Amino acid sequence: MTIDPTTKKAVLRLIPYGLFVATSRAGDSIGAGTINWVTQASFEPPLVVVGIKVESALREVISASRAFALNVVGKAQKDLAMRFFKGAQPAGETLNGCRYESGVTGAPLLLDAPAWFECRVVDEVRRGDHTIFVGQVVEVGSRREEEPLTLRDAGFSYGG
């Protein structure tokens, strides 16, 4: 049986995706990128799963540091998501022009993000063109209440 590629793409695009800026630090190396493959996988312990492109610098930094942060992108922050589609560009105390502070894992926490959570990697699986990281949530923070931006809200579609 062959899957119709047009139908496959249309159906997979029905999966709702939020947008996050994933960050990580290993020594002097900082990785960052806008991602959307994120899900909670367990309540106790609190686990999340993220998919990161195999060839990305962010994947390399997460693999080296064994930790990452997910910065929630607010509904009115499409510009924030857009800044990180091309990876990390640190300059002084900013990352892609955004001020940040270091979290307990060392990962950058964007000061403009309405909320964030930090994870320690407990498992890593490389399949296809992405690496799946399972992270145990070790810290969380909220700066303000704001609805998260979704891929569809931002005018993008993905999948397939």
CA contacts within 13 A on the Cβ side of 118? 19
Rounded to the nearest integer, the mean pLDDT of the chain is: 93
Tell me what the mean pLDDT of segment 10-23 comes to: 86
Cβ–Cβ < 8 Å for 146, 13: no
d(CA 84, CA 98): 10
Whats the size of the chain, residue-wise? 160
Q: Is residue 123 part of a domain?
A: yes
110: domain CATH number? 2.30.110.10
What residues make up the domain containing 70? Answer: 19-142
Helix (H, G, I), strand (E, B) or coil at 101: strand
Cβ–Cβ < 8 Å for 69, 105: yes
Q: Is residue 87 part of a domain?
A: yes
What DSSP character marks residue 147? P
Could you tell me what percent of the chain has a pLDDT over 70?
98
Express each pLDDT in 27-86 by its tens digit: 999 999 999 999 999 999 999 999 999 999 999 999 999 999 999 999 999 999 999 998
> What is the number of structural domains in the chain?
1
pLDDT of residue 5: 85
pLDDT of residue 31: 96
